[in-house]
Chain A
Amino acid sequence: MSVQRGLGPASVTERRREFEAALGRTAEARSQEAGVALERASLWRDALYRFAANRAALVASLAFLVALGYAYITPWVDSADPYFVDFSEQYRPLSWAHPFGTDQFGRDLFVRNALGARVSIEIGFAATLAIMGVGILYGAISGFLGGWVDNVMMRFLDALYGLPYLPFAILTIVVLGGQATFWTMVVALTVASWFTTARVMRGQMITLKENDYVRAAQALGARWYRIVFWHLLPNTLGLIIVFVFLELPGVILGEAFLSFIGLGINPPKASLGSLAQDGYAAFQTHPYMIAIPSLAIGWLILSAFFIADGLRDALDPRTRG
């Protein structure tokens, strides 16, 4: 008894009462909280924070937006007609009237580069989306079904892999009629570069299909396509988003190359590649004509690449290097 001096019996009971009251309060609070959702901190918001914290990715996004803005706003604002031929204005150097100079027909290159960038970006995104579509479908089915189906599909892919990229694209354009329009370019680029996406998707599917929820879904009667497209594809969404921006630079570059060698969009329309081709004819006397479209290509590719890098880190922090 003497041990408890200073904490008389009264104070002990008092403390105990306090403690119990506190317990009661928390129990009450808990029962109120039970089932009430906490503040939603979603994966996407987390990813956004991480992306915003990545300076390179942020600058790249800004650069990409600037490029988009230049490509889409300029033709509206600038009164110069991109197709107006004026031989008195040939090969004008950079000036306020023509910020990027004029070409051999006296056309304003500021507007023409904007239109060219627009074509490049549009073909780039359209082809990338097509690549994603084909690659995801092919890879997902191959990986999920497995067995001999997978074997046949992958060997076919290996055979295609052996074909060199650009000749394959050129061949596709030729097969499609030899006339390069927007859509033949998209098809050609897609045909030539959907393999990697398919392979990566297949790998993802093989890992994902081992998940218990796949078994659970099967045990509840879900069919295979339901499992692939409803249960598994959303799990690869992060990867798909990253892949869009990883695939984009290659496609833009591919388009530029095809245009440069004369298989691109038909004149008087232009893409960045065909503008560079025009500039190539006069690069010793008027270097800006080739420099500007080339820099624009580099600008787009680099910013897309850094965005992809930032997205990858943001969506899957474990792989941050």
Chain B
Amino acid sequence: MALLEVEDLHTYFKTRAGEVHAVDGVSFSLERGKTLGIVGESGCGKSVTALSIMGLVPPPGRVVSGRALFEGQDLLQRKSRELEDIRGREIAMIFQDPMTSLNPTLTIGMQITETLRRHLKLTRDEARKRAVELLEEVRIPNAAQRLRDYPHRYSGGMRQRVMIAIALSCNPKLLIADEPTTALDVTVQAGVLALLRELREEHDMAMIMITHDMGVVAETSDEVIVMYAGQVVEQAGTFELFDSPEHPYTEALLAALPQIEGEDVRHSRLASIPGRPPDLISPPPACRFADRCVYASLEDSCTRVLPELRELRPGHFVRTAHPASERAAAPVGS
């Protein structure tokens, strides 16, 4: 049995203009000890997917339907009190901006021990000892002393390490990392990613890595989901996805990666995808990428009917009428 199985998740936000279908039928499963990357541009629903699993969708958002089976139990059916016991204990989450994710008025020690005492019912001294160990584990020098410091004395990278330490404090089975490195310097990013990978292995956790950075995915994930406009458009093993992307969106994303080596580095412009994602209030009954897709033309069925997510090769799912391997000719207009 998979650790986490999400089935047909729909999360909508009520607004004055109508219901925004932020997550519209997302399914995936995650095995114990594996890492799943979720990539996509801003607003594609990757964070809302994670928040839905955690039961933390902010109002006016609401999980409309679907299931999220964690060890066979549907998280979406749990009472909020039960979810509070699961959060931090079984499933932990770290957020994008480490500068604001720590409370400025509490010492680092207080914030680490809070979770330990809440879930593991440790005494003050036990929690303190464990907190020192945790800080050492995320390589904060002089851990015992730095426990007494307030967050403003920590750098961004160190704060993210502290967030990781807090998330790992109760040995969760699943860690959801929502853009954990986006707000950090590139050099610090590398360190945090390496640390995350290492700790994931040590603690034998499963991890969901949410990011818009293909490089981060390549470095951390076993499997990747590409999301677009609230839906999964492609799912494959990491190597498979990078070697032979099938969805035109994935191809475009990979093409948009800046190149720093190769023949035509100096001459090529940074690639971008023309157009904008569709309005999610009343999404068209068509492939949501159709408007921006270079392969779709008006006569195609995909401008009228939403393509199913189909298994093109074992373990490689794609939602498009024009997967790369089935394309005979060059794209329209190129």
Q: Which residues of chain A have a CB within 8 Å of any CB of chain B?
A: 34-38, 146-147, 211-213, 215-223, 226, 230-231, 234-235, 237
Question: A35-B142, A219-B92, A231-B106 known; A147 and B119 CB under 8 Å?
Answer: no
Contact A212 B97 (CB under 8 A): yes
User: 15 other contacts beyond A221-B85, A221-B86, A235-B105, with CB at 8 A cut-off?
Assistant: A35-B140, A35-B141, A35-B142, A36-B145, A37-B153, A212-B95, A212-B97, A213-B104, A219-B88, A219-B95, A222-B114, A230-B106, A234-B103, A235-B103, A235-B104
Contact A220 B105 (CB under 8 A): no
Question: A147–B62 Cα gap in the complex (Å)?
Answer: 15
- Cβ-based interface call for B310 (8 A): no
Contact A34 B167 (CB under 8 A): no
Question: A35-B141, A35-B146, A221-B84 known; A216 and B118 CB under 8 Å?
Answer: no
CB-defined contacts of B103 to chain A, threshold 8 Å: 211, 213, 217, 231, 234-235
Contact B100 A34 (CB under 8 A): no
CB-defined contacts of A36 to chain B, threshold 8 Å: 142, 145
Kindly identify which residue among A37, A146, A223 contacts B84, using a CB–CB cutoff of 8 Å.
A223
CB-defined contacts of B89 to chain A, threshold 8 Å: 221
Contact B54 A219 (CB under 8 A): yes
Contact B87 A220 (CB under 8 A): yes
Contact A218 B100 (CB under 8 A): no
CB-defined contacts of A226 to chain B, threshold 8 Å: 118
Kindly identify which residue among A35, A38, A219, A230 contacts B87, using a CB–CB cutoff of 8 Å.
A219
Q: Contact mask B91-131 → A, CB, 8 Å, 1/0?
A: 01111010011111110000000110011000000000000
Q: Which residues of chain B have a CB within 8 Å of any CB of chain A?
A: 54, 56, 59, 84-89, 92-95, 97, 100-106, 114-115, 118-119, 140-142, 145-146, 149, 153, 163, 166-167
Query: Nearest residue in B to A216 (C-beta to C-beta)?
Result: B101
Query: Nearest residue in B to A34 (C-beta to C-beta)?
Result: B141
Contact B59 A221 (CB under 8 A): no
Question: A211–B146 Cα gap in the complex (Å)?
Answer: 24
Kindly identify which residue among A211, A219, A234, A235 contacts B93, using a CB–CB cutoff of 8 Å.
A219
Contact A212 B167 (CB under 8 A): no
Query: Nearest residue in A to B144 (C-beta to C-beta)?
Result: A35
Q: What are 21 A-B contacts defined by CB distance under 8 Å?
A: A37-B153, A211-B100, A211-B103, A213-B100, A213-B101, A213-B102, A213-B103, A215-B56, A216-B102, A217-B103, A218-B87, A219-B56, A219-B87, A219-B95, A220-B92, A220-B118, A221-B84, A221-B85, A221-B118, A234-B106, A237-B105
Which of A212, A213, A221 is most buried by chain B, counting CB atoms within 10 A of its CB?
A221
CB-defined contacts of B59 to chain A, threshold 8 Å: 146-147
Question: A222–B166 Cα gap in the complex (Å)?
Answer: 13
CB-defined contacts of B56 to chain A, threshold 8 Å: 215, 218-219
